[in-house]
Amino acid sequence: MGIVGDHKFPGKYTQTQSMRFRRVGARKFLRIDKTEFQHLDIYGDCGAFNYSGMTKPPYTPSDILEFYDEGQFTHGCSVDHVIFQFYKNLTGTETPKDVKEKTDLLNRFEITLNNAEIFLKESASLKGKFEPIGVVQGWSPDSMAKAADSLVKMGYEYLALGGMVPLSADSIHIALDTVSKKIKRDTKIHLLGFGKIDKIKEFEKYNIYSIDTTSPLLRAFKDKRNNLLMPGKKNYLAYYTAFRIPQSTENRALMRLIKNNLFSYEEVHKKEKNVLNSLRRYGDEGDNLEETLQSLNEYSKICLTDHTNPYKDNSVKLENLHEDYKKLLEDKPWEKCDCQVCKKSGIQMAIFRGSNRNKRRGMHNLHVFNNQLKKIL
């Protein structure tokens, strides 16, 4: 909900996209309405991360249920209020000593449980196949267990543990171990924001039914280094740094350098064109490694220049990029992958440049992540 947005809280979608989503439903909007995708469940949540800075969620349980109904979701999370803090050594109902923090934690805890109770009752009115999921929020193992116990007593058979994103595997173990001792053995558990694929086998004993993560997608265009995923050794993923080739006519930093007469537009555009041509030839023929590395280095020198301190030494950064790019060029992961992005785009999917290109690499990452998950399980 927080991504799609509405009149109460703006999401990431445009107004036109948001209206279309509600009109046609999630399956058609996401283009998974074909027969071969009908078996897929569609999970929804309220996007609590997006409004975490507010004193209370901008949506009511009724608002979210209306959204799930219009979107034709098969599963949906209750309206929660994220608790980011996790104190693994606090026991019982113990809370942090800071009064302001304590008040905020208790407020978010109560809001989440109260909304869950209303959500469960009202979800019975939804037509078609729909399973409500009660969200667990807490600041310690025992507070999470208390919340989980309350949700099960309300009638929930499926729980989602929130606040997992920043936690270490050790802290997640402690939370799950404590929660599992307070709920029925057959209660299904979903981990919100769990991307630790290499650790997932460790959590099998906790009856983990499902997980979600945006990490593979977001890494493609937000991570400073690990943008491209490939299967690694054993249960691990291998990461590569995508070739950073910003568009000279649209990149603000490059335009600032040109405006300040640190580089001419002709020079920047020429080196940009050279590196794109070199990569294209390398993708087609694979016999111009040194030439491609040289053109990448020349364009990277410009891109790393700081307009406020143009004489700053970037030699270490350049050397690191050189090694990262060399590994990517030598390994040629686009030739080893069977996803449609790699088949159609080849080396182009490894170039960090433009929204559509970066999102296609995100689709590749999701393909690799999904295959690795199936392999592990």
Catalytic residues: 45, 212
DSSP SS3 for 320: helix
Exposed, middle or buried, 176 (CB in 10 Å: 0-12/13-18/19+)?
A: buried
Cα(297)–Cα(275) distance, integer angstroms:
9
DSSP label at residue 249: T
In the chain, where does DSSP find H-type helix?
15-24, 26-29, 61-71, 99-123, 141-154, 169-180, 215-222, 252-259, 265-284, 289-303, 315-331, 340-345, 355-376
Exposed, middle or buried, 359 (CB in 10 Å: 0-12/13-18/19+)?
A: middle
Cα(307)–Cα(299) distance, integer angstroms:
15
Here the tokens at position 16 are: 């036109």
Residues 6+ apart with CB under 8 A from 303: 244, 246, 253, 254
Cα(353)–Cα(324) distance, integer angstroms:
17
Cα(242)–Cα(225) distance, integer angstroms:
7
Structural contact between residues 2 and 47, judged by C-beta atoms closer than 8 angstroms: yes
Question: What is the Cα Rg of the chain in Å?
Answer: 24
